[in-house]
Amino acid sequence: MADPILLSAPQGSLFARLREAAGQPWQDYVGHDFVRGLGDGSLPLPAFKYYLGQDYLFLIHFARAYALAVYKSETLEDMRAANDAVGHILAETSLHLRYCAGWGMGEADVVALPEDPACMAYTRYVLERGMAGDILDLQVALAPCVVGYAEIALALKADARTVLDGNPYRDWIETYSGPDYVAVAEASIATLERLFASRGSEARIPSLSRTFTEATRLEVGFWQMGLDAVTRNAE
């Protein structure tokens, strides 16, 4: 895959520093085999469907994480932003179920899915960092997902090896590279910068970097989860 198109994160900004410090785990995340399969359409359908089902469960826990952000916020502005995110994510769960239906996955089946350990590990890690730390710790734990999906989709759109015509995953690429989602990702970057300016210091960088890098590793596991499900079913 082509080098990721970096979003509006000025050199020296918190997000740019965290992304650089993540090093190989970040490259493993944005260039995962699952991602390349989305780009050229070669990803096995069972892998994508497994990912879709777990992504529904993931959304539920991310709504909880943003609800926690309401509690952790110190300003009314931040509380409103986090509350809006909760509303959007909960609305997205309904959209996600309709999207799953288009892939032949009934709502009852998706809702009843057992949670994969990779999904459990990632979402609980985000919640734990939010509960143990402050609003900045929580937002840093969320950032690899929120910003990473936009960078991945934008890079896929720019990659000459990406196939859009006839690609069953084109809608995924178009959604996360579209202006609406890119705006969400850039707002997350801006929030990190603002929170770091008010709550951060150089002394916090090592801890924040560990959180960001660990969340990135867990994102890698989330991609791998779909591929592993295909391997298990083939045995």
**Residue 114, token pair as written in the block:** 């057992």
Within-domain flag for 176: yes
| List of the chain residues with pLDDT < 50 | 2
Residue 222: CATH number of its domain: 1.20.910.10
pLDDT in tens, 155-182: 999 999 999 999 999 999 999 999 999 9
Phi-psi region of 219 (alpha: psi -120 to 50; beta: other; left: phi over 0): alpha
Q: Residue 172: inside a domain, yes or no?
A: yes
Residues 6+ apart with CB under 8 A from 222: 51, 54, 58, 118, 119, 122
The pLDDT assigned to 200 comes to 81
d(CA 112, CA 201): 44
pLDDT, residue 201, reads 86
What is the per-residue pLDDT for 231?
78
Q: What is the DSSP letter of 203?
A: G
**CB of 9 closer than 8 Å to CB of 16:** yes
DSSP class of residue 202 equals G
Specify the residue for token string 């002394």: 203
Indicate whether 4 belongs to any domain: no
- Is residue 129 a part of any domain in this protein? yes
Measured CA to CA, the distance from residue 113 to residue 59 in angstroms comes to: 14
6 inside domain: no
Q: Measured between alpha carbons, how far is 108 from 194 in angstroms, rounded to an integer?
A: 41
* Domains identified in the chain, total number: 1
pLDDT of amino acid 112:
92
Domain that holds residue 96: 14-234
Question: What pLDDT, on a 0 to 100 scale, did the predictor assign at position 199?
Answer: 86
| Whole-structure pTM value | 0.92
pLDDT for position 9: 65
Write down the pLDDT at residue 162.
96
At position 91, the amino acid (one-letter code) is A
Judge whether 9 lies within some domain: no
DSSP secondary structure code for residue 4 in this structure: P
Q: Does some domain include residue 2?
A: no
